[in-house]
Structure 1
Amino acid sequence: MPTVLITGGHKGLGLEATRTIAARGGYDIIMAGRNIGEVDAAAHDLRNRYGATIRTLTLDVASLASVRSGADAVRSLVREGSVAPLQVLLLNAGAQFRGPIEYSVDGHELTFATNCLGHFLLLNLLQDLVHDGGRIVFTASGTHDPDTMDGKMVGKAVEPDAYRLANDGRMGKPLSGGIRYSTSKLCTMLHAYELDRRLRAAGSSIQSIAFDPGLIVETGLMRTAPSFARGLMRTSGMKWMLRRMGVTMGSITFSGASLAKVAIDPAFAAASGKYIQSKNGQLIEARSSVMSQDKGRAHKLWMDCEQIVGIG
């Protein structure tokens, strides 16, 4: 059976996507996450419910060593014939960190390390294992676009300079948590588009797709916000107000199922280079920010990230 590898597939948006794929059947699933106890528990439940073949993998995207170890484990599974080459590499795990700035075990600002560097390294280590016609799907965010309410509400993304983002706070005042997040998602968009260009130039049939689930207030992205703010955001009144303000709203159920659809449905078999958005209960092809489409910025970001993660 074809194989789907998903990071962060054991909770929130990722769990709903994994559940949708497991319920559909016909796929081997590898669930990768930092807390293997939580990953194992989610996998056990999905196996019992759907009879799915699910393997679990310890992989902390904020740690380059953990990403390398996880990639090695996947290569071993494929080499041994335990799983088929990847049909889908779903780069989904992500986090937003508010409050005092933090750094990863590698010394990189934690938001950039988690949302960008780890997945960048993983896709470069496993891209050759993705089957012809397979898909690499990036979980992006509308917050990357400073001209939308999504971007304005979180904090307008700044220049996607990999070295400055990785070392944010070491020289001068650090960016706010919201700006760190929106800029990391701008980098995700730039990576998705640059990968598409590289795949097309190489004559590859692999697809590179960016997916925006919309604002989902029930996910773990809100975990660092004050408790009163988390409670307020979950009320129907606040959700209605955010939608009226122009915020792109999603939901665990619809956005999770949509992420799975982008990953495996034939309707998206030729969606490379596109930005697909879950917007207020509809799945649409959207236009991303002007900066996200800048080929020069994308190329520079890619080359700088290669140097930072040690593959250049």
Structure 2
Amino acid sequence: MAANQSPPAGGTILVTGANGGLGSSVASQVVAGKVFDGTYHGLFLVRDAAKAAALNAILASATRRGGNNTVVSVDLSSLASVRAGAAQIKQLVDAGKIPPLRAMVLAAGYREVSKQTFTEDGFDATFQNNYLGEFLLVLLLLGSMDREKGRVVIVSGMNHDTEDPRNEIEGAFKDPKYKTLFHSAESLAKGTFCSFTDDPSPMSGQRRYGAAHLCEVMFMVELHTRLTSQPSALSNIKVVSYDPGAMPTQITRDDPSFMTRVVAMQFILPLLAPVLTWLWPNGYLRSKAKAARDTLFAAGVSAGGFGGAYGDGQGGVNLNGSLVWPVSKEAKDEAKRAELWRESVKWCGIKEGDTVLENWQ
């Protein structure tokens, strides 16, 4: 912020994946939306700021006045990069250069269906990009949050729940042996669950993607429980998971089907999404604009989209668009959540002093 400029009164909105489909739409509303004019400081996390074409175009064309934006390069596939980015953000907040985090919107998404890759840290790329990197980021930055109004929004999806009838469209969980996603934290982290070697069809990637989303919802439930289970200075921070529905984005860029990757995502769905959103606001297919509005609604910083019923701002809930939606049976399993948390702490190398969360172990 300029020396003569007051900090935005609403605080900072952090958005991961700010160069992606949903993330860039959220960023656009934060920096250019009339309702946010000068209210919030935008803090946008991307893999490489120099190559974030979509975000840079949004920032270049923004008409907003009264508040600056900050872009930080954070590669969620690298735990070292997450730690470095979190340290930079913490330093900015501690020095008063940006306001405390009013909301963390974890909008980054990563999906592989034509291959399976692994990170330099040794984890399945889908698992680390969608879940583990953001688990570490949140724990490191809890101390930088607004402790009265702070909100963490974990973007997940319908495929975290194999029993959700909306998943029948793709059929990844039709076979009864795939109704359970979490057999062990190790199998998800190391990519042995539905590995591409065992099943080279696109469905194996869809199942790993669903399993990563399950981990995100389990993280939401567990973090909410830990924040509220004992008197804490952090107990007012709310945590929710959020399903934006299917949107026309580049998430299918490695899909082997030309019809899916190009024809559907680049031509058909962009035309259908606004119409279907108007008819069924929280239906299977939604526009990116509606999803972005609902994301910020979930973050407690806007009035949200239309057709919703979530308005009391409670934490520990899963949202389907602007509706409260049940979490899966697996996400309710306390033993599985405890295992995932315990192993995630170990994999991320979290130690005393890394996080202000009291019961982090």
**Per the alignment, do residues 74 and 272 of structure 1 end up closer, same or farther by CA in structure 2, a change over 3 Å counting?**
same
- Residue 84 of structure 1: CA displacement? 1.4
Which residue is equivalent to 1:192? 220
Give the corresponding residue for 2:64.
Answer: 50
Q: Secondary structure of the residue that 1:220 maps to in structure 2?
A: coil
Q: CA deviation at 1:174?
A: 4.6
2:259 matched residue in structure 1: 228
Shift of 1:41: 6.1
Q: State the alpha-carbon separation in 2 of the partners of residues 256 and 38 from structure 1.
A: 22
Instruction: Tell me, yes or no, if structure 1 residue 130 matches structure 2 residue 145.
Output: yes
Give the whole-Å Cα distance in 1 for the aligned partners of 2:334 and 2:162.
Answer: 18
Higher-Rg member (1/2): 2
The structural deviation recorded for 1:252 is 0.8
Q: Which residue of 1 aligns with 2:113?
A: 98
Report how far residue 35 of structure 1 moved.
Answer: 2.2
Alpha carbons 1:160, 1:183 under 8 Å: kept: no
Report the Cα distance in structure 2 between the residues aligned to 1:85 and 1:130, rounded to whole angstroms.
5
Structure 2 residue 189 is the aligned partner of structure 1 residue 166: yes
Render the CA deviation track for 1:11-52: whole Å, top value 9, x for unaligned. 311111122222222001110010212437624633632234
Residue 295 of structure 2 is matched in structure 1 by 259
Across the two proteins, how many residue pairs are aligned to each other? Answer: 305
Paired amino acid for 1:168 = G
Change (3 A) 1:181 1:7: same
User: How does the TM-score come out when normalised to structure 1?
Assistant: 0.89
1:87–1:130: 8 Å Cα contact kept in structure 2?
A: yes
User: Does 2:90 correspond to 1:75?
Assistant: yes
Q: Which has the larger displacement, 286-295 or 152-161?
A: 152-161
Say if 1:272 and 1:28 are closer, same or farther in 2 by CA, change over 3 A: same
Does the 8 Å CA contact 1:34/1:61 hold for their aligned counterparts? yes
8 Å CA contact 1:95–1:220 kept in 2: the answer is: no
* Alpha-carbon distance in structure 2 between the residues aligned to 1:304 and 1:268: 34
Contact persistence 2:254–2:261 (CA under 8 A): no
Equivalent runs, 1:199-238 vs 2, <5 Å: 199-203=227-231, 204-216=235-247, 218-226=248-256, 227-234=258-265, 235=268
Asked whether the 8 Å contact 2:18–2:107 carries over to 1, the reply is yes
Offset at residue 115 of structure 1 (A): 0.5
Residue from 57, 61, 75 that aligns with 2:76: 61
The aligned amino acid for 2:261 is R
Equivalent position amino acid for 1:118 in 2: G
**How many angstroms apart in 1 are the aligned matches of 2:230 and 2:58?**
41
Aligned to 2:24: 15
SS in 1 for 2:224: helix
Could you tell me how far apart the structure 2 residues matched to 1:198 and 1:268 are? Answer: 23
- Is the CA contact (8 Å cut-off) linking 1:149 and 1:247 kept in structure 2? no
Secondary structure of 2:150's aligned partner: strand
1:277 pairs, out of 309, 320, 324, with 320
CA 1:113–1:174 in 2, change beyond 3 Å: closer, same or farther? farther
Per the TM alignment, residue 90 of structure 1 is displaced from its structure 2 partner at its CA by 1.2
CA offset at residue 198 of structure 1? Answer: 0.7
Does the CA contact (< 8 Å) of 1:150 and 1:247 recur in 2?
Answer: no
Greater share of helix: 1
**Matching of residues 105-144 of structure 1 within 5 Å:** 105-132=120-147, 133-144=149-160
Q: In the alignment, is residue 286 of structure 1 matched against residue 325 of structure 2?
A: yes
State the TM-score, normalized to the length of structure 2.
0.77
Tell me which moved more, 300-309 or 167-176: 167-176
Q: Which has the higher strand share?
A: 1
Structure 1 CA distance for aligned equivalents of residues 216 and 239 of structure 2: 11
Deviations 1:203-222 (A, max 9, x none): 31000011100011x21211
Structure 1 pair 260–39 and aligned structure 2 pair: CA distance change class (3 A): farther
Displacement, 1:169? 4.0
Give yes or no for contact 2:17–2:108 (8 Å, CA) kept in 1. Answer: yes
> AA paired with 1:96?
R
Listed as ranges, the gaps of 5+ residues in structure 1 are: none
Q: Distance in 2 between matches of 1:265 and 1:74?
A: 24
Question: Is the 8 Å Cα contact of residues 61 and 119 (structure 1) preserved in structure 2?
Answer: yes
